[in-house]
Amino acid sequence: MLATDVVDTLRHDQRLVERELSADASDEALIKRLRELYKGQGIEVPDRVLEEGVKARKEKRFSYEPPRPSLARSLALLWIGRARTGKILIGAFLALFAAWLAYDFFVARPQRLAQSQAAAEITEVLPKTLSADYANVLSETKVDAANPICGAALGRWRAALARGDAAGARKAVADMEVLLNDLRAEFMLRIVNRPGEASGVWRESMINNRARNDYLIVEAIAPDGKILSRPILNEETGITSTVDKWPCG
């Protein structure tokens, strides 16, 4: 125990060791200095113990050197602090799980629902609606002019369906429903006859510029007397516009 105390004295009184070693002092000089230190404290220490303490100091027999970093040391530290490490890991897992639940509920789930609804709309809802409207258009058609319009809407729907374009398919269905409503509309054509408004016009013939074509200006009147707007094809421009009166020849 005295040898250990000597080592502790040398360790704590580092300035003494550095001074003696810098002076190239021998072990005897260091022992002598230690003897004086202990004697000053009223302690008699045998030279054998002092020699053993100096020797142990040089050999670092009673000193502690921490182990070098290694995998075994890291695993040992993790095991020692397993309670704290476990709490951290559990907390991290719970945080990640909560984040995943939030993402699935607020982002992924609405996306899946929207995709499912879009797929059902393209494969089930729109085909049924268009088929019913197409059949109704054919049954309501009393003029051949409606058939090309109906066929064009059907072609647009099939093309949109082939490329998975829900918006395009909805547009084709909407066009078909507009055509169906037009066919079902009840009205009579009346020649415009109001002060300040023309009742007829004439245009030069597109085939023979020496001839002219005369047209009456008409409007569609509903059973309740309301003037209706109708989609009318302009033969000169090829553009269909919705108007409340138009030339008819």
Confidence of residue 1 (pLDDT cuts 50, 70, 90): very low
Across the range 10-36, mean pLDDT stands at 57
What token pair was written down for 115?
A: 């995709």
What token pair was written down for 17?
A: 């060791």
Q: What is the 3-state secondary structure (H, E, C) of 159-189?
A: HHHHCCCHHHHHHHHHHHHHHHHHHHCCCEE
Determine the distance from the C-alpha atom of residue 97 to the mean position of all C-alpha atoms in its chain, rounded to a whole number. Answer: 18
For the cut 70, the answer to whether the pLDDT of residue 194 exceeds it is yes
d(CA 47, CA 244) in angstroms, rounded, equals: 128
34, 52 contact by CB (below 8 A): no
Residue with tokens 């090309």: 148
Which of the pair, 74 or 228, is modelled with greater confidence? 228
Confidence of residue 128 (pLDDT cuts 50, 70, 90): confident
pTM of the entire structure? 0.41
- The helix (H) or strand (E) run that includes residue 59 is helix 47-59
What token pair was written down for 231?
A: 């989609």
Q: Where are the domains of the chain?
A: 2-59, 86-184, 188-248
d(CA 148, CA 233) in angstroms, rounded, equals: 13
Across the range 191-209, mean pLDDT stands at 84
DSSP 200: E
Q: Which of 29-38, 138-147, 185-194, 208-217 has the highest mean pLDDT?
A: 185-194
Q: What are phi and psi of 62, to 5 degrees?
A: -105, 15
Confidence of residue 218 (pLDDT cuts 50, 70, 90): very high
Q: For residue 195, what pLDDT is reported?
A: 92
Q: What mean pLDDT is reported for the chain?
A: 76
d(CA 217, CA 244) in angstroms, rounded, equals: 10
31, 50 contact by CB (below 8 A): yes
231, 182 contact by CB (below 8 A): yes
Q: For residue 160, what pLDDT is reported?
A: 81
Across the range 169-187, mean pLDDT stands at 81
Helices 71-80 and 82-103, packing angle to 10 deg: 80
* CA–CA distances in Å: residue 185 to residues 129, 161, 243: 20, 29, 15
Across the range 74-99, mean pLDDT stands at 82
Structure-derived torsion over alpha carbons of residues 135, 140, 146, 151, reported in degrees to the nearest 10: 0
Q: How many CA atoms lie within 13 A of 124 on its CB side?
A: 6
Confidence of residue 162 (pLDDT cuts 50, 70, 90): confident
